[in-house]
A and B are shown apart, each in its own frame.
Chain A
Amino acid sequence: MAVAAATVPRARRPTLGRRVRIALVWLAILILLVVVWDGAKWFFGDPWRIHTSFLGLPIDIEHRPPMRARIATDLSLPHIWKVVEAFIAPAQRNGPPLGLVLAGQALFTFREALIGFAVGGLLGLLLGIGFVHSRLAERAFVPYVVASQTVPILAISPLIVVATKAGWVSVAIISAYLTFFPVTIAALRGLRAADARAFELMRSYAAGKLAVLWKLRLPTSVPYLFSSLRVAAAASVIGALIGELPSGIPDGLGASLLNYNQYYSAGPERLWATIIVCSILGLAFVALVRLVETLLTRNRYRPVAGA
């Protein structure tokens, strides 16, 4: 009408300056973490001495921490630079550097987690859809769904792996087992979250259950589902790692976790390097889910920027 189209607010996107600020904060936290880590070693760690020469100049630095604490010994908490060094050093004699090996294993584990995530997410959503349409099913099965997550997965994963003898498929099953739960819980909420009047509107169109599901329930549940999918993405990586442990699969990060755990005293920094790669894998997966969410919900109203 009288309102000019140009005055209507458009979707707010973070500006470049804002993005840079976020990146700087992120970097600052990382540096703080390194400082705390090696600071602890400086005050409570083992003594060390560097005795070498650099460009013909003799270097001799010695450090004796004022106090000792077991948590900060080289065995418990290797120096950050030792961990970085471990990434570059070959994993085996004359082999490729550990970083490269771990990256390859991360990709393999990611594939298992991704399949588990997809299967578990779909299963979780389907369960949610079923429960929303049948109070009886909800009452009867939701307690079992909850109970499924109280079962120690660590204990039953060997059972699944051994029983199915399916290699990476059984690993994906365990990953799916950890994934579906948050999605079901979120779906139960999200599929009911639409305005009561929106349901009445659909009723006035004499819309069938499928139309209500497709045009109202599912679109409304998208933000709820993605919140749970982020949790599920992290859980699916954990599930894949737990599944790999008893599987004997040498291609995944689980193999390195097991291996470097066993030979921990011979090189604690290698286990730490593996742990870091596992975390990065989880983070990357969650970020990927977040990206998909942003793409899918870019047309929606966001009351708070970045929410």
Chain B
Amino acid sequence: MTDPTPTVTDPTPTDRTPTERITAALPGTSVVRIAGVGKTFGTESGGVRALEGIDLTIAQGEFVSLIGPSGCGKSTLLRLIGDLTAPTAGSIEVNGKPARRARLDRDYGMVFQAPVLMDWRTVAKNIELPLEVMGFAREERQKRSGELLKLVELEGFAGRHPWQLSGGMQQRVAIARALAFDPKLLLMDEPFGALDEMTRERMNLELMQIWQRTRTTVVFVTHSIPEAVFLSTRVVVMSARPGRIAKIVDIDLPQPRNVETREQERYFELVTEVREALRRREGGEGQLAPPDADRIRAEGLA
């Protein structure tokens, strides 16, 4: 990273305004560098190859979505980046460090499909949880949770408990918690997958606003094509068995994204492009999925 002070030890990590942070984020600086990564579950001969030959570089300030059929290893890839599991091949660097080092340096925030809030803590205390673990002083924690509650527009709910909130509100608390320590990278694993379509679209808009304000790099796993296209700067389309990157679609929709984005011609073109990339990988248009192609080539059948 170009930022010399690690976020965690930075005594005033919130002093930078969003604009300052955008200028601080040099375009082209890579936050995530994945090279030749593979993941096989189970060490026996019958191991399942979840991921194979993944190369991907994510730049500072990007919003990258991972999309693909179930079993394509998109969640596994996210967990590899977050060092929640280790790759069996290749290397992953986050902020120029091995993924494990980056985790220990608290470089990323995680958001899961379920909010995973602690029901004995108030909303504010849930947001402060990572700050408590990281040893922030009480005043600093309270200041920070206050700011984040404002960011996710839940100011009036600081003293409530998670179970008193709707599903969408709970997920906003989870996002605020992930952002609490100002991580350089936000990893989101189908964060809106459990929400209804209307809430989901609203959450998409809100996430866009949050992203535009914080300019945190986001890696976002989803199985919704419209969601991926609307949110992302790039969509990584993956194929299954073994999980590979099938295609990377650049989303050149203008920023900031808003309600009208979904009505643009270009938006529909991109949705179609992603959809076709997904369909091709299922072998729908007479094309063979890579493993079969490999086999045919290996056996000299072609």
Contact = CB atoms under 8 A, between A and B. Distances in A.
Interface residues of A, number: 27
A204 B109 contact: yes
Given A197-B116, A200-B84, A206 B106 contact: yes
20 contacts: A1-B169, A3-B166, A11-B161, A195-B114, A198-B116, A198-B118, A201-B110, A201-B112, A203-B84, A204-B82, A204-B108, A204-B110, A205-B133, A205-B134, A205-B181, A206-B104, A207-B133, A219-B118, A301-B119, A301-B161
B169 A204 contact: no
A126 interface: no
Nearest to B135: A211
Interface in A88-130: none
A18 interface: no
A299 B116 contact: no
A135 interface: no
Contacts of A201: 110, 112, 116
Contacts of A51: none
B130 A205 contact: yes
Nearest to B108: A204
Interface in A185-204: 195, 197-198, 200-204
B156 interface: yes
Contact of A10 (B82, B109, B164): B164
Interface in A214-230: 215-216, 219, 222
A9 B164 contact: yes
A5 B156 contact: yes
Contact of A204 (B103, B118, B160): B103
A211 B157 CA distance: 26
A244 to B, nearest CB: 39
B166 A204 contact: no
Given A207-B133, A215-B129, A197 B82 contact: no
B152 to A, nearest CB: 9
Contacts of B153: 1
B163 interface: yes
A217 to B, nearest CB: 12
Contacts of B276: none
Contacts of B108: 204
A215 B132 contact: yes
B119 A197 contact: no
Size range of the chain B interface in the assembly: 20 to 34
A299 B121 CA distance: 8
A211 B120 CA distance: 16
B165 interface: yes
A299 B118 CA distance: 11
A128 to B, nearest CB: 19
Interface of B: 82, 84, 103-106, 108-110, 112, 114, 116, 118-120, 122, 129-130, 132-134, 153-154, 156-157, 160-166, 169, 181
B133 A8 contact: no
A247 B162 CA distance: 52
Listed from nearest, the 10 A-B pairs whose CB atoms lie closest are A301-B163, A205-B133, A207-B133, A204-B110, A206-B104, A8-B164, A197-B116, A301-B119, A205-B130, A197-B112
A221 to B, nearest CB: 11
B103 A203 contact: yes
B84 A8 contact: no
Given A204-B106, A205-B130, 7 more contacts: A5-B156, A198-B116, A200-B112, A201-B112, A202-B133, A299-B122, A301-B163
A1 B151 CA distance: 12
B155 to A, nearest CB: 10
A1 B154 CA distance: 6
B84 A211 contact: no
Contacts of B122: 299
A300 interface: yes
A199 to B, nearest CB: 10
Nearest to A203: B84
Contact of A300 (B120, B157, B160): B120
Interface in A1-37: 1, 3, 5, 8-11
Nearest to B85: A200
B160 A8 contact: yes
Nearest to A4: B156
Contacts of A299: 119-120, 122, 161
Query: Which of B114, B122, B130, B134 has the largest number of chain A CB atoms within 10 A?
Result: B130
A270 B114 CA distance: 60
